[in-house]
Amino acid sequence: MRQKEGRFYTDEQVSRLPEIEPIHPYFHEWQMRARSGKRLVSYLQKKNKPLNILEIGCGNGWLSAKMAELDGALVTGIDTNKPEIEQAHRVFTNSSARFIYGTFNLDTFGKFIKFDVIVFAASFQYFPSARGIIDEAAKLLDEGGEIHIIDTHFYDTEQAKLSASRSKKYYANMGVAEMAGHYFHHSLNCFDGFDHKALFNPKSWLNRVTKKDAFYWIRIGPTQTLPGREGFKKAIKVSPTGGDLEGADNMVGRQSLYHTFKRYNTLRTHRISALPIVILMPHSACNCRCVMCDIWKDNKNLKQITPDDISKLVRSLKKLDTQRVLMSGGEALLNKKFLVCVRY
Ligand SMILES: C[S@@+](CC[C@H](N)C(=O)[O-])C[C@H]1O[C@@H](n2cnc3c(N)ncnc32)[C@H](O)[C@@H]1O
C-alpha cells in the first residue's frame, strides 16, 4: 500500500526526512509535517529535562530520531510494519532511538516501564477506538506524563461520515478496498472527558488565513500528583462533574460514577456488588508472639489459602471491581505458596 501511494522512501531519503526534494509528490505534505514536528520538538526541548518518549506507529522512525536528538532523551518507536522498522534500524543507527517491531499493546512494555511523553504522529487514525487507545496509552504514562497527537485529521460528526466515504472510494480506486477498514475518522469530541488542549488549531482565524497547516496538535494530560500523596497518580480523565479528576488507575477511593453507584447499591440492598478493598489471610498462624495480639494463640487451628482458592477468587474480585488486595495474616509469608498466590 505504502509503495502504491508512493510513500515508500529510500534509506537516503528517510535519513533526510522531513526534508525532501521539491519535485517529490508529497513535498507540500512534508513541509507541513516538518512544521508540526518542529513545534513538538521545541515544546519538548523547553521541558529542559531528559525525557523517556514512546512513539506509537513510528513508521520509518524519522520523528523518533528527531526527538532522540533532545538532550538526554531516550526514544522508543514501535510500529506494526516490519519493512519500515527494519529501515529505521538501518538508517538511525547512531541515535538514542530504539525501534520495536510489533502492534502496540500494554504487554509490550510490562508494568514497570513508564514514559514521560507518548506521541502519535500521523498514526492515531489507525486506531478504531480513540478513547480506547488514549486509555491504554495513559496507563504507560509516568507522573506528569503527556500524550501528543499530531498530523491526524479530526472532523465534526457530519464531516467524519463524508470523509469516511471518500476514503472508501480512494482505497477502492487503489485496488485495496480492505484498507478502508483500517483507517478511522475520529471527531474532535473523542477527547471530551479527557484533560486535553489543542496546542495548535488549524481553524484559528490566523491559521485559516495562512492556510498552511491542516492538522490539530492535541495534548492530553499532563497527569498530576495528588498533593500530599506523591506516588498516587491522578488520571487524565476529567470527572463528569468537571471538577476533580477521576479514575486514577492506582488509587482506591476515586472511582467512576458507576462504581460509586454499585457501592451505594451494596449498602442499600445488603447484596455485595462492589468491593474496592479485600483483606485475605494467606496463613492463619503467626511466628511472632506480640503482646497486643492473640492470633498466634490459635496457631494449632491452621488454615491456609491455596493458589486454587485465589484463581477462583480472582474472577469474583474482577466482577466486584476490587482494586486492592491486602495480604494479611497470621504471617502471610508462612504460606509456602505465597508468591504463587500473589502472582494472580
Ligand atoms: C501514516 S504512518 C506514520 C508513520 C510515522 N509516525 C510518520 O510520522 O511518518 C502510520 C503508522 O502507524 C502504524 N500503526 C498502525 N496501527 C498500529 C498499531 N496498532 N501498533 C503499532 N503501529 C501501528 C502503521 O504501521 C504505520 O506505519
| pLDDT, tens digit (0-9, with 9 covering 90-100), for 218-257 | 999 998 765 555 555 556 777 555 444 333 344 344 456 6
Helix (H/G/I), strand (E/B), else coil: 133: helix
CA 58 / ligand 1 centre spacing (Å): 6
pLDDT at position 228: 57
For ligand 1, atom 10, the nearest C-alpha belongs to 123
pLDDT at position 236: 78
Among the ranges given (99-113, 161-175, 186-200), the one the predictor scored with the smallest mean pLDDT: 161-175
| Domain contains 237 | no
For ligand 1, atom 9, the nearest C-alpha belongs to 59
Do 138 and 214 belong to one domain? yes
Establish whether residue 101 lines the binding site of ligand 1, counting it when its CB lies within 6 angstroms of any ligand atom.
no
pLDDT classification of 323: cutoffs 50, 70, 90: confident
Residue to mutate (ligand 1; options 3, 15, 30, 80; most atoms within 8 A of CB): 80
For ligand 1, atom 18, the nearest C-alpha belongs to 103
Distance of CA 289 to CAs 19, 185, 304, 329, Å?
A: 73, 65, 19, 13
Establish whether residue 17 lines the binding site of ligand 1, counting it when its CB lies within 6 angstroms of any ligand atom.
no
Do 128 and 273 belong to one domain? no
pLDDT at position 86: 97
Mean pLDDT of all residues belonging to the chain: 85
Establish whether residue 120 lines the binding site of ligand 1, counting it when its CB lies within 6 angstroms of any ligand atom.
no
Question: Quick check: 71 pLDDT over 50?
Answer: yes
Among the ranges given (30-44, 137-151, 175-189), the one the predictor scored with the smallest mean pLDDT: 175-189
Do 213 and 322 belong to one domain? no
Is the four-CA dihedral 44, 225, 195, 149 of positive or negative sign?
Answer: positive
| Domain contains 50 | yes
User: Per the structure, how many domains does the chain have?
Assistant: 2
Do 264 and 312 belong to one domain? yes
CA 80 / ligand 1 centre spacing (Å): 7
In terms of residue numbers, what domain contains 202? 11-152+193-220
| Domain contains 131 | yes
Rounded-to-integer distance, Cα 63 and Cα 66, Å? 5
Establish whether residue 31 lines the binding site of ligand 1, counting it when its CB lies within 6 angstroms of any ligand atom.
no
pLDDT at position 252: 41
pLDDT at position 289: 82
Residue to mutate (ligand 1; options 2, 123, 151; most atoms within 8 A of CB): 123
Among the ranges given (60-69, 117-126, 135-144, 170-179), the one the predictor scored with the smallest mean pLDDT: 170-179
Residue to mutate (ligand 1; options 8, 82, 126, 149; most atoms within 8 A of CB): 126
pLDDT at position 226: 52
| β-strands 97-101, 141-152 pairing | unpaired
Do 205 and 269 belong to one domain? no
Which residues are within 8 A (CB) of 274 and not within 5 positions of it... i.e. 6 or more apart? 259, 262, 263, 265, 266, 320, 321
pLDDT at position 335: 84
* CATH code of 127's domain: 3.40.50.150
| Domain contains 246 | no
Do 261 and 203 belong to one domain? no
Do 210 and 67 belong to one domain? yes
Do 271 and 138 belong to one domain? no
| Domain contains 41 | yes
Rounded-to-integer distance, Cα 187 and Cα 167, Å? 15
Establish whether residue 79 lines the binding site of ligand 1, counting it when its CB lies within 6 angstroms of any ligand atom.
yes
Mean predicted confidence (pLDDT) in 120-124: 98
pLDDT at position 156: 83
Higher pLDDT residue, 319 or 9?
Answer: 9
Mean predicted confidence (pLDDT) in 65-71: 96
Higher pLDDT residue, 109 or 84?
Answer: 84
Do 75 and 209 belong to one domain? yes
For ligand 1, atom 11, the nearest C-alpha belongs to 57
Mean predicted confidence (pLDDT) in 4-30: 92
| Domain contains 276 | yes
Do 206 and 320 belong to one domain? no
Do 70 and 200 belong to one domain? yes
pLDDT at position 225: 61
For 214, the grid coordinates are 491542516
Question: Quick check: 181 pLDDT over 70?
Answer: yes
Establish whether residue 108 lines the binding site of ligand 1, counting it when its CB lies within 6 angstroms of any ligand atom.
no
Rounded-to-integer distance, Cα 53 and Cα 148, Å? 11
Mean predicted confidence (pLDDT) in 175-191: 84
| Domain contains 32 | yes
| Domain contains 158 | no
CA 60 / ligand 1 centre spacing (Å): 9
Do 41 and 130 belong to one domain? yes
